[in-house]
């Protein structure tokens, strides 16, 4: 039994190690890469934020789609020709719109995308704050018992204890 | 004020309902993306001819050459593209009913494959250019695949982009009225 537990443990280790070693797979093919490592690094950084226009939820750096390949090559050609990162992005935006950027720019049309979560959080926070403030304002201070009430309470407690001692009453 | 608070769930429900009606509307295509090229002049391009004895097509043909001052349609297609096959008869219909020349650009296609495709299905195009590495389509017109169709006005401005195959309904309800309007 011990041996079996051990081998299971080892198997789990092996799976974990394999998972750790296998990073994300990249669709960039070796023949697409630029020989200049600095340019290639820039190309990959740009590609990660460019949406594959047919697969839509993937960036072109990871997509295997044909058009993603074309766009990767175009990004590299532009960089080689001396374009800045921004110029490359603008080149693609001019053809495919802001949609091609996985991080949409902040403008009137995208205002809600960027601020929506914070607005919701703020609204919820304001709601909770107002709720607590109102309940705090309406909460009554504890008023001490008057003499008659106090006497009634003591009488009640005494009866209750007597019941319990006698063991006849309900313990609650 | 407190009374109004009881309406809040109802308001939220109404807002969600509006969102769902918008989202589930079958005629809304969530994949449709507005092209930023609409309203822009057609890019400079030169699409070589399919065969030696025919002319190709270039932006100069639209601006100063054979199609100067005419409304034209440019259709990107390929022999390997299945929806293009389905769209094929509609291209003839488009040019017949609107009277405008439909120009074809064979996108990422081998010339002999394009010729075999047209030999089999017929040639609906007034002119055919070739775009073997796909750059005219991508860099010039921002296409995401084939088929895609563009309507270019008399001044060479892109007025409409149809990603995907044309349909009878689309031609009748959108393209023909637009073309008529542009021809005025």
- The pLDDT, as a whole number, for residue B1 is 64
Strands across the sheet containing B158-163: B127-131, B102-107, B72-77, B148-152, B158-163
- The pLDDT, as a whole number, for residue B59 is 95
Q: Domain-by-domain residue ranges, chain A?
A: 19-105, 109-166
Short-list B69, B68, B61, CA closest to B105:
B61
Q: Please check whether residue A102 touches B, CB under 8 A.
A: no
Task: Compare CB distances from B36 to A53, A70, A97 and report the shortest one's residue.
Answer: A97
Probe site for chain B from A88, A96, A135 (most B CB atoms < 10 A): A96
Rounded to an integer, the average pLDDT of A86-102 is 93
Residue-level length of chain A: 172
Q: Considering chain B, what is the average pLDDT of its residues? A: 92
Range of weakest confidence among A16-30, A71-85, B6-20, B78-92: A16-30
- The pLDDT, as a whole number, for residue A77 is 94
Tell which wins on pLDDT, A137 or A20. A137
| B6 φ, ψ (degrees, to nearest 5) | -65, -25
Task: Compare CB distances from A54 to B108, B135, B144 and report the shortest one's residue.
Answer: B144
B103 in Cβ contact with B125 (< 8 Å): yes
pLDDT(B144) > 80 = yes
B10: in domain: no
C-alpha B102/C-alpha B95 separation (Å) is 6
pLDDT(B3) > 80 = no
Q: A171 to chain B, minimum CA–CA distance in Å?
A: 43
User: How many Å from the N-terminal Cα to the C-terminal Cα in chain B?
Assistant: 58
A148 CB contacts (<8 Å, ≥6 apart)?
A: none
Nearest CA in chain B to A97: B36
Nearest CA in chain A to B37: A95
Q: Classify A56 in phi/psi space as left (phi over 0), alpha (psi -120 to 50) or beta.
A: left
Q: Is the ipTM of this complex over 0.85?
A: no
Domain covering A19-105: architecture: Orthogonal Bundle (1.10)
Model confidence, pTM: 0.73
Q: Please check whether residue B178 touches A, CB under 8 A.
A: no
C-alpha B84/C-alpha B120 separation (Å) is 13
pLDDT tier, A14 (very low <50, low <70, confident <90, very high otherwise): confident
Give me the torsion for CA of A75, A112, B143, B180, rounded to 10°: -150
The count of other CB atoms within 10 Å of the CB of residue A90 is 12
Percent of chain B at pLDDT > 90 equals: 83
B15: in domain: no
CATH value at residue B97? 3.40.30.10
Q: pLDDT (tens digit, 9 = 90+) per residue, B31-60?
A: 666 789 999 999 999 999 998 888 999 999
Please report how the helices B82-98 and B176-183 are oriented relative to each other, as an axis angle in degrees rounded to 10.
40
Q: A130 to chain B, minimum CA–CA distance in Å?
A: 12
Rounded to an integer, the average pLDDT of B157-172 is 93
3-state secondary structure A77-100: HHHHCCCCHHHHHHHHHHHHCHHH
- The pLDDT, as a whole number, for residue B29 is 72
B34/A53 Cβ within 8 A? no
Q: Please check whether residue A120 touches B, CB under 8 A.
A: no
- The pLDDT, as a whole number, for residue B115 is 95
Rounded to an integer, the average pLDDT of B105-128 is 96
B-chain CB neighbours of A93 within 8 Å are 36
B33/A53 Cβ within 8 A? yes
pLDDT tier, A82 (very low <50, low <70, confident <90, very high otherwise): very high
B5: in domain: no
C-alpha A49/C-alpha B35 separation (Å) is 19
Rounded to an integer, the average pLDDT of B134-156 is 95
Domain that includes residue B147, residue range: 37-183
| B180 φ, ψ (degrees, to nearest 5) | -60, -45
CA distances in angstroms from B23 to A56, B15, B17, B164, listed in the order given? 18, 12, 10, 21
B61 in Cβ contact with B126 (< 8 Å): no
Rounded to an integer, the average pLDDT of A93-108 is 88
B145/A67 Cβ within 8 A? yes
Short-list A81, A15, A11, A8, CA closest to A43:
A81
Q: pLDDT (tens digit, 9 = 90+) per residue, A31-66?
A: 788 889 999 999 999 999 999 988 878 999 999 899
| A102 φ, ψ (degrees, to nearest 5) | -70, -25
Question: Would you call B32 helix, strand, or coil by DSSP?
Answer: coil
Tell which wins on pLDDT, A70 or A25. A70
Short-list B38, B36, B144, CA closest to A90:
B36
Rg (CA), chain A: 35
pLDDT(A142) > 90 = no
Q: How many domains does chain B have?
A: 1
Short-list B57, B63, B71, B103, CA closest to B175:
B71
- The pLDDT, as a whole number, for residue A1 is 47
B144/A53 Cβ within 8 A? yes
pLDDT tier, A138 (very low <50, low <70, confident <90, very high otherwise): confident
A67/B33 Cβ within 8 A? no
């Amino acid at each position: 039994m011990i041996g079996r537990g051990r081998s299971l443990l080892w198997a789990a280790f092996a799976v974990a190690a394999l998972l750790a070693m296998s990073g994300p797979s990249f669709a960039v093919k070796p023949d697409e890469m630029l020989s200049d490592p600095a340019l290639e690094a820039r190309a990959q950084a740009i590609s990660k934020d460019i949406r594959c226009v047919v697969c839509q939820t993937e960036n072109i750096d990871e997509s295997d789609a044909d058009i993603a390949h074309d766009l990767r090559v175009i990004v590299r050609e532009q960089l080689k020709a001396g374009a800045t990162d921004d110029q490359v992005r603008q080149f693609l935006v001019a053809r495919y719109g802001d949609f091609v950027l996985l991080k949409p720019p902040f403008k009137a049309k995208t205002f809600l995308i960027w601020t929506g979560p914070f607005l919701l959080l703020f609204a919820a926070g304001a709601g909770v704050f107002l709720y607590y403030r109102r309940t705090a304002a309406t909460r009554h201070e504890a008023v001490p018992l008057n003499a008659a009430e106090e006497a009634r309470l003591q009488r009640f407690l005494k009866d209750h204890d007597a019941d319990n001692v006698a063991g006849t009453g309900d313990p609650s | 004020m407190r009374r109004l608070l009881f309406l809040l769930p109802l308001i939220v429900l109404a807002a969600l309902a509006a969102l769902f009606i918008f989202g589930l509307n079958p005629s809304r295509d969530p994949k449709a993306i507005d092209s930023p090229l609409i309203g822009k002049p057609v890019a400079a391009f030169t699409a070589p001819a399919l065969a030696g004895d025919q002319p190709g097509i270039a932006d100069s043909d639209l601006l100063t050459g054979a199609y100067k001052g005419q409304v034209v349609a440019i259709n990107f297609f390929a022999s390997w593209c299945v929806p293009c096959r389905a769209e094929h008869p509609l291209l003839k219909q488009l040019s017949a009913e609107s009277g405008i020349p439909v120009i074809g650009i064979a996108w990422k296609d081998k010339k002999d494959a394009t010729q075999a495709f047209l030999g089999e299905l017929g040639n609906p195009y007034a002119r055919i250019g070739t775009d073997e590495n796909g750059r005219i389509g991508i860099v010039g017109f921002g296409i995401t695949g084939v088929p895609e169709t563009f309507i270019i006005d008399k001044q060479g401005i892109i007025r409409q982009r149809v990603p995907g195959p044309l349909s009878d309904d689309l031609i009748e309800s959108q393209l023909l009225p637009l073309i008529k309007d542009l021809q005025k």
